[in-house]
């Protein structure tokens, strides 16, 4: 009696509740629970299948070894993903959004730009691509039911494979531009070197014509005069003395020309040694007090031939002017470097120059030599207070390095030719002294 009453109440209560409770499991038939039944309660597969097409979502993306942040439930469309050229790989995981019921599903994929059709249905839920060419891609993934092959709406992943530097569009034009600029630079350098060589050859020819040619002509004339019959002995000796003096001058001029054009004598140390030798030979014979202030010989500064020649010739002209016109007892020669400039100062304590003395031919020649190397030369002088000549030249080519040992840094052929020229000059000096 009591049992029958409980069964009747249980049945009446069950009519007010849902007849079925669904439990969803991915890719499997939905299980239903008959909560309350007129006859019995139980759990059994739902005999009614869902007719809705499956919907696919992207659950996880690894791009170049980095996990892309996505929603926990998955996303239908993913974009703005970049693949690095050094780690050219992407892995995409996908799945079907949970369904209450329905038959098993399979997946199809298509990579726009690579595939022309959908792939065959498969249960695999991971797509991996590696070593893709640079460009833009879009992966489409959709689920298909096994029963009727009906595809659901696809999910998409858009990504870009970045190119390497040698695969960029601007690399080829850049290489062409750089190549053209290098060719133009080489051509300009070659033309500059050719012009420098032509100027050097023209200068050598002019120096040989002015110094050596005129001197040899004078020696020839004096020789012919000395050979004329009827000349007295005293006149012949005077002409021979003039020939000897002029020969020594030609030897010095030839030595200067060889030194000026020699490529192994283009350092500041060689210039200071030449300046010291010349000034000492000329000024000490006049019993003048000479003082030098020169740069440290351990630092090697390379000078171009034009600057070296201009500085030395201006020094020679200044020293000759001191000997001829200064009437001094003390001479100071200073050579120093000041911020990529070479400064030469020659001063004395002589009689000085008057107001119109700075317009002579020698001073005009010094001014022209300074202007030829973009230099500036100035004079400071007053009567009775001496004269100071200052040359300031901007160095066109400045290189500093410690002095290199001869075994590694010198040109043996150039050194040999320079030594032979100096030995020849010394031998001619000795011959002239013996004859005089």
51 is a domain residue: no
Q: Is residue 328 part of a domain?
A: yes
Exposure on the CB side of residue 145, measured as CA atoms within 13 A: 17
Counting every residue written for the chain, the total comes to 436
Q: Same domain for 185 and 243?
A: yes
- On whether both 335 and 432 belong to a single domain, the answer is no
156's CB contacts (< 8 A; 6+ apart) are: 76, 77, 78, 79, 138, 139, 140, 141
Sign of dihedral through CA atoms 12, 17, 18, 22? negative
Q: Give residue 253's Cα distance to chain centre.
A: 43
**In terms of domains, do 155 and 229 share one?**
no
Both 253 and 328 in one domain: the answer is: no
pLDDT at 384: 78
What is the structure's pLDDT at 391? Answer: 93
254-259 long-range CB contacts below 8 Å, 24 or more apart? 254/211, 254/212, 254/425, 255/421, 255/422, 255/425, 256/312, 257/204, 257/207, 257/208, 257/211, 257/212, 258/418, 258/421
127 neighbors 107 (Cβ within 8 angstroms): no
Same domain (yes/no): 317, 399: yes
Is residue 282 domain-shared with residue 386, that is, in the same domain? Answer: yes
- Whole-angstrom distance, CA of residue 299 vs CA of residue 276: 17
284/393 same-domain check:
yes
Which residue, chain included where needed, has tokens 């012009």? 195
Q: Which of 311, 321, 322 is nearest to 289 (CA)?
A: 322
Residues near 321 by beta carbon (within 8 Å), at least 6 away in sequence: 362, 363
- DSSP code at position 307: H
* Cβ neighbourhood burial of 26 (10 Å; 0-12, 13-18, 19+): exposed
User: Based on the domain organization, do 257 and 158 belong to the same domain?
Assistant: no
Q: How far apart are CA 402 and CA 205, in angstroms?
A: 35
64: left (phi over 0), alpha (psi -120 to 50) or beta: left
One domain, residues 246 and 309: no
Cα separations (Å) of 293 from 83, 290, 343?
Answer: 68, 10, 11
Angle 233-261/305-321 helices, nearest 10 degrees? 150
Longest Cα pair distance anywhere in the chain, in angstroms? 183
Please tell me the predicted confidence (pLDDT) of residue 130.
93
| 162 domain-assigned | yes
What is the rounded CA–CA span in Å between residue 364 and residue 391? 14
CA distance 17 to 231: 158
91 bridge partner residues: 62, 128
Q: Which of 167, 197, 212 is the last residue of a domain?
A: 167
> Residue 139 maps to which CATH number?
2.60.40.10
Is 115 within a domain?
Answer: yes
User: What's the pLDDT score for residue 212?
Assistant: 76
Do the domain assignments include residue 50? no
Please check whether residue 181 lies inside any domain of the structure.
yes
What total number of domains does the chain contain? 4
Last residue of a domain, one of 125, 148, 167: 167
- Reported pTM: 0.49
Please answer whether residues 369 and 277 qualify as being in contact, where contact means their C-beta atoms are separated by less than 8 angstroms: no
How far apart are alpha carbons 229 and 27 in whole angstroms?
Answer: 136
In a domain? residue 31:
yes
Q: What span, in angstroms and rounded, lies between the C-alpha atoms of 208 and 91?
A: 83
pLDDT along the chain (436 residues), means of 10: 52 43 40 37 45 85 94 91 93 83 82 90 92 94 82 93 88 92 93 83 75 78 74 70 80 77 76 87 84 80 82 89 86 88 90 64 82 88 86 70 38 39 46 42
Q: Are residues 368 and 306 in the same domain?
A: yes
Do 191 and 169 form a contact (C-beta atoms < 8 A)?
no
- Picking from 299, 295, 210, 308, the residue whose alpha carbon sits closest to that of residue 263 is 308
- Is residue 390 domain-shared with residue 425, that is, in the same domain? no
User: Domain check: are 363 and 394 in the same one?
Assistant: yes
Asked if residue 178 is part of any domain, the answer here is: yes
Q: What is the pLDDT of residue 128?
A: 94
- The whole domain housing 215 covers 170-261+411-436
Residue that terminates a domain, selected from 138, 167, 196: 167
Give CA separation, 107 vs 62, 120, 202, 323, in Å.
20, 8, 87, 107
- Secondary element (H or E) of residue 317: helix 305-321
């Amino acid at each position: 009696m009591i049992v029958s009453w409980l069964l009747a109440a249980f049945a009446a209560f069950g009519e007010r509740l849902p007849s079925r409770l669904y439990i969803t499991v991915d890719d499997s038939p939905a299980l239903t629970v008959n909560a309350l039944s007129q006859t019995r309660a139980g759990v059994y597969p739902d005999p009614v299948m869902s007719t809705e097409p499956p919907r696919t979502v992207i659950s996880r993306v690894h791009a170049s070894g980095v996990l892309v942040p996505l929603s926990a439930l998955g996303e239908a469309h993913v974009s703005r993903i970049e693949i690095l050229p050094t780690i050219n790989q992407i892995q995409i995981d996908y799945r079907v959004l949970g369904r209450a019921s329905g038959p098993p599903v399979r997946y199809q994929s298509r990579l726009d730009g690579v595939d022309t059709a959908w792939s065959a249905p498969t249960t695999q839920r991971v797509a991996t691509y590696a070593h893709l060419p640079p460009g833009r891609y879009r992966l489409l993934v959709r689920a298909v039911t096994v029963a009727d092959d009906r595809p659901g709406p696809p999910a998409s992943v858009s990504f870009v494979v970045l190119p390497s530097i040698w695969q960029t569009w601007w690399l080829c034009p850049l290489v062409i531009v750089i190549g053209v600029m290098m060719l133009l630079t080489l051509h300009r350098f070659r033309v500059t070197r050719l012009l420098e060589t032509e100027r050097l050859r023209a200068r050598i020819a002019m120096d040989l014509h002015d110094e050596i040619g005129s001197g040899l002509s004078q020696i020839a004339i004096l020789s012919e005069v000395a050979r004329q019959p009827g000349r007295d002995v005293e006149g012949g000796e005077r002409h021979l003395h003039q020939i000897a003096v002029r020969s020594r001058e030609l030897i010095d001029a030839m030595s200067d020309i060889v030194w000026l054009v020699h490529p192994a004598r283009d350092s500041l140390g060689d210039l200071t040694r030449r300046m010291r030798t010349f000034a000492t030979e000329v000024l000490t014979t006049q019993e003048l007090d000479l003082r030098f202030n020169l740069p440290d010989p351990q630092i090697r500064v390379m000078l171009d031939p034009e600057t070296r020649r201009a500085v030395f010739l201006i020094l020679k002209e200044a020293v000759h002017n001191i000997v001829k016109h200064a009437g001094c007892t003390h001479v100071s020669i200073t050579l120093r470097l000041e911020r990529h400039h070479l400064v030469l100062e020659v001063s004395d304590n002589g009689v000085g120059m008057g107001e119109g003395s700075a317009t002579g031919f020698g001073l005009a020649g010094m001014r022209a030599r300074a202007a030829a190397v973009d230099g500036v030369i100035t004079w400071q002088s007053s009567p009775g207070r001496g004269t100071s000549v200052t040359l300031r030249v901007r160095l066109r080519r400045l290189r500093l390095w410690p002095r290199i040992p001869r075994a590694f840094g010198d040109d043996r052929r150039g050194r040999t030719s320079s030594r032979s020229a100096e030995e020849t000059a010394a031998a001619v000096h000795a011959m002239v002294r013996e004859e005089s």
